[in-house]
């Protein structure tokens, strides 16, 4: 049931290198590849690129290696959107020399312009071998955040770095606990935990009450949470509609590891923006109290006065289909598992 980015994070924790998509090394499927230090890693597949067809994968793989972008364009005939996605995620870095990824995007646009209309698919070879862009344009390289956003959009995986790495300083400032250290806390202890929402489930239970079960993945491991029904007015909307979560709760000991019963939840991206624009004090105000009070006073949203029944007969949680206006650069909601017919 786990999304592929959670599997990649687990591989990292076990010392297995996850190698990015590369125009000269990736094959149609994921392959095991030896890296420079002699260890073995997993090279991500060409087929994992969003929108790439089987024919394009086969042409690219059969023509390897490539010496330049123009060589790739002439022999593999990638569609422009696919070539742009490959450039965005760094799969064409071996072909760029002193150029930035933004330069490659300009070069792809020029190659497309020159070949447009010469064939139905617009991908005939150029008349000569002169590179379209011989010198860097002066455009800056993508930032690490932009590169990470491209990976999430194109691959659904954070390859170059973990999604949570940009939030480590914020989490240290507010005293959040990661999954690796959660097991050392005592039951009943208040705690802040954060991570990428990896799964959301609301199975029916005998009492008729609804419990939202969430698993967060923070790079160091998995955190299991349960939101009881009395917390839903404060938490449910954020839990269902945020990909990165910060949760306040209480440690519980169930089975082999500690879990957390959540009492309040925040969109971690929104907290990060508040910190960036207004400093750590803004985050403290949003949290109410960074000392983790046991009785926070959140702003409650009125619960929707309707219940949606799915085709399976399961009832959808009242908050599950409400999405605030606006779009994120990468759809983090799509990166997590939700059980069929459940609230997520």
For 305-317, what is each residue's pLDDT tens digit? 556 666 666 666 6
Alpha-carbon gap, residue 163 to 100, rounded angstroms: 23
Q: What is the pLDDT of residue 204?
A: 78
Q: What is the pLDDT of residue 256?
A: 78
Q: What is the pLDDT of residue 342?
A: 47
For the domain made up of 163-338, the CATH class stated in words is mainly beta
Which stretches does DSSP call E strand in 255-326? 257-267, 308-309, 315-316
Q: What is the pLDDT of residue 50?
A: 96
- Structural contact between residues 157 and 5, judged by C-beta atoms closer than 8 angstroms: yes
Joined together, the tokens standing for residue 108 give 């792809």
Residue range(s) in the chain whose domain bears CATH number 2.40.50.140: 163-338
Q: What is the pLDDT of residue 222?
A: 94
Q: What is the pLDDT of residue 290?
A: 41
Pick out the chain residues at pLDDT < 70: 117-134, 289-344
Q: What is the pLDDT of residue 314?
A: 66
Chain centre distance of CA 37? 28
CA distances from 211 to 56, 307, 319, 330 (A): 46, 16, 13, 28
């Amino acid at each position: 049931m786990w999304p592929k980015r959670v599997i990649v994070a687990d591989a990292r924790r076990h010392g297995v290198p996850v190698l990015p998509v590369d125009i000269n090394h990736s094959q149609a499927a994921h392959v095991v590849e030896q890296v420079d230090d002699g260890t073995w890693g997993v090279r991500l597949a060409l087929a994992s690129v969003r929108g790439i067809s089987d024919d394009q994968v086969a042409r690219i793989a059969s023509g390897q290696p490539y010496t330049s972008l123009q060589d790739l364009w002439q022999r593999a005939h990638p569609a422009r959107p696919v070539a742009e996605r490959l450039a965005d995620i760094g799969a064409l870095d071996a072909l760029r020399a002193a150029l930035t990824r933004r330069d490659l995007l300009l070069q792809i646009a020029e190659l497309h312009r020159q070949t447009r209309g010469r064939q139905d698919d617009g991908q005939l070879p150029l008349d000569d071998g002169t590179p379209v862009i011989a010198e860097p344009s002066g455009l800056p390289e993508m930032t690490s955040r932009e590169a990470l956003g491209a990976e999430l959009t194109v691959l659904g995986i954070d390859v170059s770095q973990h999604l949570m790495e940009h939030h480590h300083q914020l989490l240290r400032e507010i005293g959040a606990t990661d999954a690796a250290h959660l097991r050392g806390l005592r039951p009943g202890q208040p705690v802040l935990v954060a991570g990428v929402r990896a799964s959301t489930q609301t199975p029916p239970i005998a009492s008729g009450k609804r419990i939202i079960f969430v698993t967060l993945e923070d790079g160091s491991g998995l955190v299991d949470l349960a939101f009881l029904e009395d917390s839903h007015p404060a938490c449910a909307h954020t839990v269902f509609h945020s990909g990165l979560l910060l949760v306040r709760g209480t440690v519980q000991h169930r089975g082999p590891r500690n879990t957390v019963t959540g009492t309040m939840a925040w969109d971690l991206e929104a907290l990060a923006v508040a910190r960036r624009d207004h400093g750590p004090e803004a985050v403290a105000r949003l949290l109410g109290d960074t000392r983790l009070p046991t009785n926070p006073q959140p702003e409650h949203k009125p619960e929707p006065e309707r219940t949606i029944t799915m085709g399976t007969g399961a009832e959808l949680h009242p908050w599950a289909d409400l999405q605030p206006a606006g779009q994120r650069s990468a759809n983090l909601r799509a990166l997590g598992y939700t059980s069929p017919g459940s609230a997520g």
